[in-house]
Amino acid sequence: MKKNRKNLALLLLAASLLAGCAGQSNSQSSQSSQAKSEKKAESKASSKSAAKSAASSAVSSTKSSSSQATSKSAASSSQRADANRMGTLTSQLRVKLPGMLLPAADGLGQGSSNLNIRYTSSSSQNVVYYSVGNSPLALNDSRIASEKPYAVLTEKKNVADASSLINYQEPKTGLPAVKIASNVTGTEEGAAGSTYLQFNQGQWSFVVRASNVQGQKPLPTAQKLLSLYQQYGLPDTAAKSSVQVDVGESLGSLNTVITWIKGSSVYQLKAHSTETAFKMLKSLN
């Protein structure tokens, strides 16, 4: 009897241990399953977040590209409008001043959209004034007369003696030599509080005047002048012609004066900027 009780107790103990192990195994399995579910949820959330981020980046990139394209398109439209304004006014001028050489380019770096032009004409000469105003005005609008011109183009017709108008300077000798470029040398002389630096190229004489009182030096301007000539050239002329530049550029100063002969006419372009003058003359036709 005692032996049977002892065996029964052992059986109950074994059953209890087996039940505990099974419970622990079920608990571990449940925990493992829960962990897997959590990982799957995290993976799905991460994928959704990545997809959302990629979509947002794509939208942002599209907006940026669209914005850049719009900006480029606007700039291109503005440039076309500026070129069209010069072209439109020049076409109108050709009707009013038939036979006169006129530039197709305004020579400006900015302000082309407000380019204004007025002119005067007589039997002996034509004069065209180029200016930039607060707004675009019609050709020869009376209000343009109050604007300071940045360039003035004059044609003197049927000139018998052009030498006094052109003021060509023959190469000087016996004066201090100044090297302007590796293959170009000029001469320098002082007179009436100014220093004059001269060099010659082909049919053209170039003279730069600097004010001693203002402490100006002619060489840097002469070097820039030579560079512009080599880059843009000057109008074809069979006669001796001239370029004169006073050091210093300011609106309305018209410190650059270029004079040449074409047929029986003497042309002269005055401009506040030497580079503007060369750009305009490059497009002359």
Tens of pLDDT, residues 162-175: 988 999 999 999 99
Contacts of 187 (CB under 8 A, 6+ apart): 171, 172, 173, 175, 176, 177, 178, 197, 198, 199
Mean pLDDT over the full length of the chain: 81
The CA distance from 255 to 274, in Å, is 8
Q: How far apart are CA 165 and CA 158, in angstroms?
A: 13
Residue 40 counted as domain residue: no
- Decide if 95 is inside a domain: yes
In a domain, 26, yes or no: no
Instruction: Provide the residue range defining the domain that includes 217.
Output: 79-282
What's the total number of domains in the chain? Answer: 1
Q: Is residue 168 part of a domain?
A: yes
| Nearest CA-CA partner of 280 in 50, 99, 112 | 112
- Least confidently predicted of 12-21, 127-136, 200-209, 243-252: 12-21
Determine, yes or no, domain membership for 104. Answer: yes
Q: Is residue 57 part of a domain?
A: no
Percent of the chain clearing pLDDT 90 (strictly above): 64
**Residues linked to residue 205 through DSSP beta bridges, in sequence order:** 200, 242
pLDDT in tens, 172-219: 999 999 999 999 999 999 998 999 999 999 999 999 999 999 999 999
Q: What is the pLDDT of residues 105-121, one digit of tens each?
A: 999 989 999 999 999 99
- The pLDDT score that the predictor gives to residue 163 is 87
More confident residue, 23 or 250: 250
Between residues 72 and 152, the one the model is more confident about: 152
- Tokens of residue 284, six digits: 């002359």
Q: Is the pLDDT of residue 1 over 90?
A: no
Residue 174 lies in a domain: yes
pLDDT of 54 > 80? The answer is: no
pLDDT score of 19 more than 70: no
DSSP bridge partners of 121? 126
Cross-strand bridge partners of residue 129: 118, 152
How do residues 220-256 score in pLDDT, each as one tens digit? 999 999 999 999 999 998 799 999 999 988 778 999 9
Q: In the predicted model, is pLDDT for residue 22 greater than 60?
A: no
Give the dihedral sign, CA 169/174/178/184: positive
Residue 211 lies in a domain: yes
Of the pLDDT bands very low, low, confident and very high (cuts 50, 70, 90), residue 80 is low
